[in-house]
Structure 1
Amino acid sequence: MAKVKRVSVGGQALIEGILMKGPKGSAMALRLPDGTIEVEEKNFPSVKDKCKFFGFPIIRGVTNFVESMVTGYKCLMESAEKVSFEEIKNDDDIENMSKTDKWITEHFGEKMVTAISVISMILGIGLAFLLFFYLPTLAADLLNKLTNGAITNFRVIIESLVRVIIFVLYMVLVSQMKDIKRMFMYHGAEHKSIFCFEAGKELTVENVREMSRLHPRCGTSFMFVMIIISMILSSVISLIFPALRNIRIVWMLVKVLMLPFVMGLGYEFIKFAGCHDNIFVKIVSAPGLWMQRITTNEPTDDIIEVGIAAIKAALYGVEKKEEAVETEETDTEKSEETEIELQEENVTEKTVENSVDSYKKEAESIVDDLLAEIVSEKSSDKE
């Protein structure tokens, strides 16, 4: 079983930014409307540090998932407030906003994005339940009725297939939105930056650009792994307790209660996949990697710069990162000063050489004149 280098760096795409989580801390890098990159260290204490129970296998998967959702949501809201509200403040056409947007802006101010996001999150949870729990179950039940119970033993598989189809279609439709396309570019930069670090290469735009944007530990892969595990567990439960499957509401409740265990197993597999490279891992990870062709886009160099800033700050801290930049600038200045000094020395040497040559020529001309006078005097004496 081939093992690859274990690393503990992860990330998340934000609005015009990236959140990176390193082994010792986290950092968020944002591209502000004025073009500058703002880097901020984040401290997210984990409940695993206080209670070892939450660090046990399976349990730690649920813990990490919940903590990642909470911290990721906070940073997403912060990035939205810093980027989106600045754009609104600088917009000369604010008077052309709709009445609803004006009312929200006047009453919530800088918290406008947060208010909208909270409402969106509530609606999103309801939509997720409808799309990924209710509709697949409903579709399987309807198909079972249409076939007079011929697919009773395959309803779990049909549910999973419907869930995958809905998930893929949803992501394809969402990926067509302008803002989401740009966020997917940051998602690609996050993966490329992590790959560059894992490869042991220097974190430069050129090196990061060459890396793949598809990463096996991505959340997209995690979603597909969860669907596969859910299908297997649902099949086992329906075989052991077939009566549960006949009541739609009860069956959906079972699926919801089963979700934490599915998360835990999914996390353990993703963790395993990040440390191993074999045929089994490649086969199971393949659907998630294919899906990342939708959820990631090739980033531009300015977006790659944000990814590099985020991962450097997460690994080394903001201050050390700035010191490294200052050191590079100092080294550059020193090299420039050295070049100037060498150029001045070369000019001086050339000046000296030119002076020596001129002195030689003058001396030679003087000697020639003296010899000519001596010769002329001797010739006059002979006469």
Structure 2
Amino acid sequence: MAEQNKSCAFRTSIGGQALIEGILMRGPEKQAIVVRDQEGHLVEKVEELRFIKDRYPILGLPLVRGTVNFLGAMVSGVKALMYSADFYPEEEAAKPSKFELWLEKHLSSKKLESAVVALAVLLGVGMSIFLFLVLPTFLTGGILHFFPDFPMWGRNLVEGILKVLIFLVYLIVCSKQKDIYRVFQYHGAEHKSIFCYEAGLPLTVENVRIQPRHHPRCGTSFLFVVIFVSILASSVVFGIWPITNVWLRTLAHLLLLPLVVGITYEFNRWVGRHAQDNVLAKILTAPGLWMQNFTTNEPDDGMIECAIRSLELVLPSEKGKDAW
């Protein structure tokens, strides 16, 4: 039993992302994409990682590194999604628009890919900011327009409740999409394979299958904590400087966002180390883990094989280098 507890104490920094019929796994030295093509074969793509903090150490400081790593993960995630989507093209390709033809004519393939990735990241970040920050602020302003004497703490409470409700509805709607179901199965396979590795067990389909599919360092939990921290931060700020104008409140939320992401990242680092053996960490991560019921599904054996292979490809050359 002592040996089992000792092995389970290991926490890896390796993390991943579900793709279209595949998984992106990111380790301390390498990043691997493993996709199962339409013939059923596993296609592998491995890249050496170069970290911006190595060139600019200030970007690796606590609170700063959170935003940097989040944006970096967004960029690599979009590129990986585009790569996996190429294995499953639409049956009837739509005729290129004039704008698409113009881009192909005036930009090289590399520049065009960079432009598409940048646009996708901007749209993704922009949609998240609109749904979980801007929309709740404007809805609260609209509701409380008829109650001008409503207390500030009440306004903050209503806004916070709306943030959580919108996030929950968003997860539920996504989980009901037929095409997303398999992606969420790969998401479950990614979590299970990491748990198996952290437990010190051989990476086999049988060992991975019995692992939990809810992981405390999941992106779903991260986004929930971002929302929760933003509620706390805005409550403090608006408690000191009462602001009721929706435009000024929205601006304040945007200015606070880098700090909120930074605090959330550091929180996730702490949780990654202690979520399995600390009562407080278990309590704080419980809501995020529950929400993973909507973003992870039980995988089949083929998905688990894909997760295992992607994890094997990013294991560090030096044992323990990936320790969290």
| TM-score, length-scaled by structure 1 | 0.72
Instruction: Please report how far the alpha carbon of residue 125 of structure 1 lies from its aligned counterpart in structure 2 after TM superposition.
Output: 4.5
Partner of 2:12: 7
Q: Does 1:234 align with 2:239?
A: no
Partner of 2:321: none
Partner of 1:266: 264
**Aligned partners of 1:62 and 1:103: how far apart in 2?**
35
**Aligned partners of 2:220 and 2:280: how far apart in 1?**
18
Residues 144 and 151, structure 1, Cα contact 8 Å, conserved in 2:
no
Partner of 1:363: none
Partner of 1:149: 149
Instruction: Please report how far the alpha carbon of residue 259 of structure 1 lies from its aligned counterpart in structure 2 after TM superposition.
Output: 0.7
What SS does the corresponding residue of 1:295 show, helix, strand or coil? Answer: coil
Partner of 1:84: 88
* Larger CA Rg, structure 1 vs 2: 1
Instruction: Please report how far the alpha carbon of residue 230 of structure 1 lies from its aligned counterpart in structure 2 after TM superposition.
Output: 0.9
Partner of 2:57: 52
Partner of 1:102: 95
Instruction: Please report how far the alpha carbon of residue 43 of structure 1 lies from its aligned counterpart in structure 2 after TM superposition.
Output: 2.4
5+ long unaligned stretches in structure 2: 1-5, 318-324
Residues 47 and 54, structure 1, Cα contact 8 Å, conserved in 2:
yes
**What RMSD, in angstroms, separates the aligned Cα atoms of the two structures?**
2.5
Residues 226 and 263, structure 1, Cα contact 8 Å, conserved in 2:
yes
Partner of 2:74: 69
1:201-250 Cα offsets, whole Å, 9 max, x none, are 000011100001000000111111111211111111112212xx122112
Count of residues in correspondence between the two structures: 299
Q: Does 1:184 align with 2:184?
A: yes
| Aligned positions of 1:149-298 closer than 5 A | 149-242=149-242, 245-276=243-274, 277-298=277-298
**Aligned partners of 1:170 and 1:159: how far apart in 2?**
16
**Aligned partners of 2:120 and 2:52: how far apart in 1?**
27
**Aligned partners of 1:134 and 1:24: how far apart in 2?**
37
Partner of 1:23: 28
Instruction: Please report how far the alpha carbon of residue 126 of structure 1 lies from its aligned counterpart in structure 2 after TM superposition.
Output: 4.4
Residues 63 and 266, structure 2, Cα contact 8 Å, conserved in 1:
yes
1:249-307 Cα offsets, whole Å, 9 max, x none, are 12111111111111111011110011113222111111110000000010011111100
Q: Partner letter of residue 76 of structure 1?
A: L
- Relative to structure 1, is the Cα distance of residues 7 and 124 closer, same or farther in structure 2, using a 3 angstrom cutoff? closer
Instruction: Please report how far the alpha carbon of residue 76 of structure 1 lies from its aligned counterpart in structure 2 after TM superposition.
Output: 1.2
Residues 62 and 264, structure 1, Cα contact 8 Å, conserved in 2:
yes
Residues 46 and 67, structure 1, Cα contact 8 Å, conserved in 2:
no
**Aligned partners of 1:143 and 1:84: how far apart in 2?**
45
What SS does the corresponding residue of 1:54 show, helix, strand or coil? Answer: helix
Which protein has greater RCO, CA pairs closer than 8 Å, 6+ apart? 2
Instruction: Please report how far the alpha carbon of residue 177 of structure 1 lies from its aligned counterpart in structure 2 after TM superposition.
Output: 1.4
**Aligned partners of 1:298 and 1:32: how far apart in 2?**
20
Instruction: Please report how far the alpha carbon of residue 316 of structure 1 lies from its aligned counterpart in structure 2 after TM superposition.
Output: 5.7
**Aligned partners of 1:144 and 1:297: how far apart in 2?**
39
Residues 78 and 117, structure 2, Cα contact 8 Å, conserved in 1:
no
- Relative to structure 1, is the Cα distance of residues 273 and 300 closer, same or farther in structure 2, using a 3 angstrom cutoff? same
Q: Partner letter of residue 84 of structure 2?
A: S
Which shifted more, 231-240 or 200-209? 231-240
- Relative to structure 1, is the Cα distance of residues 254 and 284 closer, same or farther in structure 2, using a 3 angstrom cutoff? same
- Relative to structure 1, is the Cα distance of residues 127 and 267 closer, same or farther in structure 2, using a 3 angstrom cutoff? closer
Residues 181 and 297, structure 1, Cα contact 8 Å, conserved in 2:
yes
Partner of 1:349: none
Instruction: Please report how far the alpha carbon of residue 122 of structure 1 lies from its aligned counterpart in structure 2 after TM superposition.
Output: 5.4
| Aligned positions of 1:346-365 closer than 5 A | none
